[in-house]
Amino acid sequence: MSFTEVSSTMKSTALAAALLFAMGIGNASADSFQVSALAPGVQAPIGITNHYETFTGLSFTGGSLTTNFNNSGITGTYTGSAQIANANVFGGAGGVGQFITTSEAGSYTLTLSSNVNYFGLWFSALDQGNELSLYRNNTLVYSFDPSDYAQLVGGCPTSTPEPNYCGNPNSDFYNAVSYQQYAYLNFYDQNASFNKIVVAESPNDGEFESDNQAVGNLTSAPGTTVPEPSGLLLIGTGALFAAGWLRPRITQ
């Protein structure tokens, strides 16, 4: 799959990030992440990797669940408060099969057998309790929250013509979830690696639904097919850069 060029706005953003890095602004020891969203409706890491877990046919009701991400050579072990659910309005890529979700106010950890620089997932039905954190051993290298997601793909509901990121693209109940974002997100560590992902849901906010979770070691950042003005976040030296805005995100 070919990817469109990053917009001129995003190129300017990347330049600004580079300039701030050169000026020594931020935490120089923090990992530098690029986060991107694939085009609306894309629910798998097409053109990026074939190594992802669909969760269909699996069971996870406690204890642990192990996968090799479609023979990737990397083993991933899931532990914590999670379950495998049948596709519904809130999750399940393609509207079929199964997906992984936290319990309410629950969390689970994906521990990898080796370090990677890429993690992707179809992050469906965003709610205000969804939190994603990436670790290298026990060191937090990046965290992603609902406000970051909204900055990346835009708010919902939206007046933007379809295709857009609001509502489940697979479901007949589209209007029931038009206030929630659905997108395939890519997390790429540009200068280091990580080996643990924590998926968490804060109390009284629902569940964290996702599918087609992918891992790998890429030679370059995945491209982006999203339209202007959203689509690319550059996270560098302890700060978040996107279309002219900046706020601290990474702790280490």
Q: Which residues 6+ apart lie within 8 Å of 207 measured at CB?
A: 90, 101, 102, 103, 104, 106, 127, 201
Query: In the predicted model, is pLDDT for residue 219 greater than 80?
Result: yes
What digits encode the pLDDT tens for the residues 169-179? Answer: 997 554 567 89
What digits encode the pLDDT tens for the residues 49-63? Answer: 999 999 999 998 668
- The domains of the chain are located at 8-248
**Residue for token pair 């805005």:** 245
Q: What is the pTM of this model?
A: 0.79
**Residue for token pair 């205000």:** 128
- What pLDDT score does 54 carry? 98
What digits encode the pLDDT tens for the residues 178-194? Answer: 899 999 999 999 999 99
What digits encode the pLDDT tens for the residues 102-150? Answer: 988 899 999 999 999 999 999 999 999 999 999 999 999 999 999 999 9
In the 8-state DSSP scheme, what is residue 36? Answer: E
User: Which of 126, 104, 115 lies closest to 202 in space, CA to CA?
Assistant: 104
- Residue 52 near residue 214 (C-beta atoms within 8 A): yes
- Torsion on CA atoms 125, 222, 97, 145, rounded to nearest 10: -20
- What pLDDT score does 49 carry? 96
